[in-house]
Chain A
Amino acid sequence: MEIEYGVTGRWTSELYIEGQGTAGDSAVFTGWRWENRFRPLKREHWINPVLYLEYESTSEASRIQKEIVGGAPDVESPNADLQATKNHELEGKLILSGTSHDWNIAGNFITEKNLLRSEGFEFGYAFGVSRPLAKLASGASCRFCRENFLAGVELYGGLGSTEDGFGARNSAHYVAPVVSWQVSENASIHFSPSVALNGLGNPMLIRFGYSYEIRGFGSRFTQWFGGRN
C-alpha cells in the first residue's frame, strides 16, 4: 500500500508499506519504504529531470520488484528464514521524461546501496513509452471512453553492481506492456504483465495497482487536528 502526498508543487513524498503471502508458506509484513520525488526545474523542457530518493527498511522476504537492481530476490527459501535478514537501503534515481506527439517517454537510471552490508552499489534502469488512446476528450461522462485508457510498453532490468561488475549481462531484464484505466474522476487501475528476456530472473512478473486520489486531503487533515486551512 502506498500513500502519496504532494508536499509542495515540486516535491511529492510517499510511504510504501509492503507484505507478501507465499502459497504453502506464510504471509508476512516485509517492511516499508519512504519515497521522495523532486522536480528541480520550474518549467517544462524537452527533457524534464526528476530526482528520486528512497529509503527502505525491508526484509529479505520482500518479493516486490518495483524495479530490478543487481540480482533477483530469493524465492526458494522459506519466509521465516528470509524475515530474519533485514535490509536498510538507500535508492536514488535520475528520471528523465518528455513528450513527443502525445507520447510520454521516460527513462531512469537507478542506483541502490545497502547500508548494513558491504554489497557495494547496485544499478538498474527502466525505459518506457506510453500514450492515451484518444487525443480529444469526449464530452460524455463515460467509464470506457478511449481517453480514459493509456497504453504503452516498458523495458527494465539490472545493470550489475560495483562488486560483480557494471553491465547488463548478469542481470534480469523484462519487457512489459502497460495499460492504465482511469475508472472514475479519482480512481485508476494499472496493469502490467512483464516477460523475462533472459533466464536470470522470474520468467514472469505481474504488476497490478489501484490508485485512489483523496482530494483536499491536506485541508481535511488540518481540520481533523483543529488547525486552520
Chain B
Amino acid sequence: MRKLCSAIVGLVLATSAFCQNPDYQQDSKWQAPADVASRPNPLANRPETAGGGQKLFRRNCVECHGADGSGLAKKHAADLQLSSVQQQSDGVLFWKITNGNPDRGMPSFSKFPELQRWQLVLYLRTLKTAAGSPSKP
C-alpha cells in the first residue's frame, strides 16, 4: 500500500513538474510604458480583497497559468512565481493584465472593472509566498 501511495505521489509530482514552465522567457517586446510603473495598487491596504482576486484568477487565468500560477509549458504561459515576474511593479502587472499580449496568446482583460484587475494583481503577489520564494519588488 505504501509503495502504491509513493508511486501516486511521485506521479503527481512528476506530472506537476512536467506541466510547469520553468523555462519561461519574457517577451522583451512586451514592455509597459514608463509612466504606469509607479501606479500604486489602490487595494494595497485591503489584503482581504485578494480572495476575490483568487476567484477571478481561477475563472480566467488557470487554464494557461495553472492553479499555482507556475505556467503551463504547453501554453507557453508565464510562471508567475518567478522573481522576474514578481519583481515587476504593481502598475506594470496591472498594465499587462489590462492590455494582454495577443502575439503570445495572453488576452486583454480591459473589460473587467479596474478594481477587479487590481484584485488580480493583489492575488498574484500571494503566489510568491505560496511558492516560498519571497522577493521584494
Contacts and interface: CB of A to CB of B under 8 A. Distances in A.
* Physical interaction between A and B: yes
Interface of A: 8-10, 39, 42-44, 48, 99, 102, 104, 131-132, 134-141, 147, 182, 185, 215-216, 219, 229
A43 B39 CA distance: 18
Contacts of B105: 8-9
Q: Is the interface of B mostly helix, strand, loop or mixed?
A: helix
Chain A's interface: helix, strand, loop or mixed, by majority?
loop
Nearest to B54: A139
Given A8-B102, A42-B103, A43-B99, A139 B55 contact: yes
Given A42-B102, A140-B51, 11 more contacts: A10-B102, A44-B98, A104-B111, A131-B113, A135-B116, A136-B49, A136-B115, A137-B53, A138-B51, A185-B58, A185-B59
B74 A135 contact: no
A16 to B, nearest CB: 22
Contacts of B63: 215-216
Contacts of B98: 44
Interface of B: 48-56, 58-59, 63, 74, 98-108, 110-116, 119
B99 A139 contact: no
A219 B48 CA distance: 36
Which of A39, A132, A134, A135 has the largest number of chain B CB atoms within 10 A? A135
A135 to B, nearest CB: 5
Contact of B108 (A44, A137, A182, A229): A44
